[in-house]
Structure 1
Amino acid sequence: MSYGQPGLRVRRKLFVWMSPSEVGALCVRVDPDEKELLLESNPNAYFTTPHYASYLAVLVRFEHITDEELAERIEDAWLLCAPRRVVGEFLEKVGGTEHCANQPLVPAPVLGLV
Structure 2
Amino acid sequence: MNAQPPTPLHGRPKFPTQVAFHRTELSVILSLYGRMVAAGEWRDYGISSLKEVAVFSIFRRTAENPMYRIEKRPKLRNRQGMYAVIGIDGQILKRGHDLRTVLRVLERKLIRAVD
> So what's the TM-score if we normalise by structure 2?
0.32
Larger Rg: 2
Structure showing the higher helix proportion among its residues: 1
Give the structure, 1 or 2, with the largest relative contact order (CA under 8 Å, sep 6 or more).
1
